[in-house]
A and B are shown apart, each in its own frame.
Chain A
Amino acid sequence: MEILFGAPALPLDEAGKYVAGAYVVFVVLLVVYVAIMAAKVQRIERELRDVAAIAEEKKEAQAAPGRGSETPLASHGSGGGGTDV
């Protein structure tokens, strides 16, 4: 804190807007990346909820008498493939 209060005022003249521009670009890129990743994480959460619902349905189907456990539950979709790279 002592460093902050003892520091001279920043020379925000002509050079200041270039320096600010460079740092703002960096922050914007970072925020855009984090926003994209947040959307991705939300999608994973949604998929996880779907999977939990399928598991619950399957569990109920197995527990109910006269109903087999071979139901493929195709209505929920296949979900795509392997490592998501």
Chain B
Amino acid sequence: MYGKGLKPLSIATVAMLALSLSLVFFYAPLDGDQGFIQKIFYLHVPLAIVALVGFVAGGVFAIAHLRTDNRKWDAYSYVSIHISVIFGVAVLITGAIWAKASWGHWWVWDEPTLVSFLIVFLLYATYYPFRYAIEDRDRQARYASVFAVTAGAFVPLNFMAVRMAQSLVHPRTFATAEGGMPGEMMLTFLCSLAAMALLWTTLVKFELTAKSASGQVKRLRRALDAPVAGGGSRIAPEVS
């Protein structure tokens, strides 16, 4: 069920990534202040936005799981967080490279945007040991959902707190006193954001498909291993 539409989605993602890379390197003008280094912006910022939105989406799916007790939503929540953590790793590494190129340091501890993202990332890094420390599958899913809701609520609060803390080190791209980005840069940025959002969606769908297939194979195997009583099928109905 999860695999439906995966192929066109993958094709759209590859096309969008190719378009955004072409725009980044051959269309968007060079930044007057940072020059060629600013090209990292089109990778780093969309990755960060999609990762943070993915964490919030994980919280929303977790709410759906707690409300309905349907394991499907727990799988959605888990996979959303998983892919967002991978994106988070990319954000931290690309951010460090950009920081080294622009500021001369791999990491700056007195910059709220960087530190707050690291806190969010480390918070979600604890999701895995927390989840797998619980053996009972129902309790594991329930506790993981509570974690995802709490951490998901922390993400926008953290974002607002950082916005309120005025800093001159990390650039505010969309709302500066100078008027923000020029049109070509904005178009390139929006294409990159769309490409990253598509990539996130494709990877989530891909992983959900693999998990669903694996779960169904295990259920089939259990049903075949069990002795048949009364001639009826012991294969459990598929969980969507």
Contacts and interface: CB of A to CB of B under 8 A. Distances in A.
Interface of A: 3-4, 7, 10-11, 13, 15-16, 18-19, 21-23, 25-26, 29-30, 33, 37, 40-41, 43-44, 47-48, 50-51, 54-55, 58, 69-74, 76-85
B36 A16 contact: yes
- Helix, strand, loop or mixed for chain A's interface? helix
Interface string B188-225: 00000000000100010011001101110111111011
A33 to B, nearest CB: 6
B37 A85 contact: no
Interface string B212-240: 01110111111011111000000000010
Given A4-B22, A54-B224, A84 B215 contact: yes
B214 A44 contact: yes
Contacts of A74: 225
A72 B221 contact: no
Interface stretch (B54-62, B71-79, B147-155, B158-166): B71-79
Interface stretch (B38-46, B111-119, B175-183): B38-46
A82 B222 CA distance: 10
Contacts of B44: 22
Nearest to B75: A85
Interface string B13-33: 000000000100111001000
B137 interface: yes
Contact of B36 (A11, A29, A41, A73): A11
7 contacts: A18-B100, A43-B214, A76-B225, A81-B218, A83-B75, A83-B211, A85-B141
Interface residues of B, number: 49
A81 to B, nearest CB: 7
Given A18-B100, A85-B141, A3 B27 contact: yes
- Pairs A-B, 8 closest by C-beta atoms: A79-B221, A18-B101, A7-B26, A15-B36, A84-B214, A22-B94, A70-B227, A15-B37
B122 interface: no
B36 A19 contact: yes
B224 A10 contact: no
Contact of B94 (A13, A26, A48, A80): A26
B113 to A, nearest CB: 17
Contacts of A71: 227
Nearest to B40: A22
Nearest to A4: B26
A48 B213 CA distance: 9
A54 B101 contact: no
B93 interface: yes
Given A37-B206, A78-B221, 9 more contacts: A7-B26, A22-B44, A33-B86, A70-B227, A73-B224, A81-B218, A85-B71, A85-B74, A85-B211
